Amino acid sequence: MEKIDVTSTVFYYVAKNLSDELLGGYINNIQTLDENTFKIKVHKQKTKQLIINNNVCFLSDYLLPTIENNGFGVFLKKALVNQRIHEIKQDKNNRVIYFKLDKHYLIFEFFSNSNIILTDINFKIITSKQKEEWKDRIIKKGEIYKFPINYNIREYTENEIISEIERTTQKTFEQIGRTELISYLVRIYKLPPSDMESIIDEQKISKKTITKIKKLYEYKKPKLVFVDWKTNKTLTVINEEGFIYDDVEKHYLESYKRNAVKSDVIKQSKNEIILKEQIETKNAFEEKIKTFNKEGETIYAYFPQIDQINQQIKLATSKKINETEIINKINDYLNKNNLGIKIININQKNKTYIAEFK
């Protein structure tokens, strides 16, 4: 799956939407779409599908084909099915969304290589899709999960933000250049560079600049859309009528449909192999049945002679005559009387013998 840049504001509105749609619901299934994509089914009045891939998560009504869960998917399903969702939030302005459940936190990180982390209610890590390590945080079993460090711009007023910028840069707000201001906001508040470049006017940096930025979080009709920014495809948010996930669904469904076609081809190929093996096994059984039937008919036809041979072998064995002598004497008798039977081998210990019917 292609890597797409997703702005941090996307996750603010995704978390807000998921909270509206899923809060109070119960997880009733976890399935795998491909090696990097999971589907979480949540029941709240009706069942809804949450799709999580490396770039973003979104709700979809489409019945997307699944594959067998890998070990991580199996573990998540066993741990989380029937747990209720109590809280869904974005962490600060990070590309991180977390679910608070009955006994766990389920955390989705959509930066770096992306990750899914399951912790207990005290944030002790139980498992994760992958282990990761930074200078200030470690993602692995047994560690206490730490959210990435930054500051939530929504928690501060315009004046507080400006005062902190001036204190940090040792400049008045009006003295700060556009590039320096964008760099500061991206670094400290994890604001998306693409949005900052479109909002911040090089000639008119003022308190209104911060007001415009904070309005990014006040959209009444948020909609996720793809835009081209520099050399990358970027998913961002606009204020526009329509289902919030329209563009996201259209984009990813094409990929999932292609995977489904590949999956169907693989399944068809496997099914053909299985069918062929089943047919070969069936034919082999039928041949054995024919052989057994033929042998049974032969034994029935020669039953008087076989009974007589049994008696002679029993008698000879009681007289402690060796096997070779018994075979020779019985075969002489059978041959003289043209009975069409020949003894090949006698095993006195196991009380068995092999006869050949001519």
181, 130: one domain: no
67, 168: one domain: no
pLDDT above 80 (res 51): yes
133, 161: one domain: no
The number of distinct structural domains making up the chain is: 3
Kindly report, residue by residue over 295-348, the tens digit of the pLDDT: 666 666 667 777 777 877 777 777 778 888 888 888 887 787 777 788 888 887
pLDDT above 90 (res 292): no
Q: Tell whether 275 is covered by a domain.
A: no
Model pLDDT, residue 281: 65
Last residue of a domain, one of 148, 168, 193: 148
Mean pLDDT of 114-131: 97
CA dist 50 and 61 (Å) reads: 9
- DSSP secondary structure string for all residues of 74-125: HHHHHHHTTPBP-EEEE-TTSSEEEEE-SSEEEEEE-STT-EEEEEETT-BE
Q: What is the pTM of this model?
A: 0.71
Model pLDDT, residue 81: 96
Kindly report, residue by residue over 233-262, the tens digit of the pLDDT: 899 999 999 999 999 988 888 777 665 544
Q: Tell whether 215 is covered by a domain.
A: yes
Nearest to 4 by CA among 258, 243, 224: 224
Last residue of a domain, one of 239, 259, 294: 239
41, 93: one domain: yes
- Domain with 193, as residue range(s), is 153-239
93, 17: one domain: yes
Query: By the 8 A CB rule, do 38 and 70 touch?
Result: no
Q: Tell whether 273 is covered by a domain.
A: no
β-strands 232-239, 5-6 pairing: parallel
Last residue of a domain, one of 87, 118, 148: 148
27, 84: one domain: yes
Kindly report, residue by residue over 206-241, the tens digit of the pLDDT: 889 999 999 999 999 999 999 988 878 899 999 999
Higher pLDDT, 176 or 269: 176
Q: Tell whether 286 is covered by a domain.
A: no
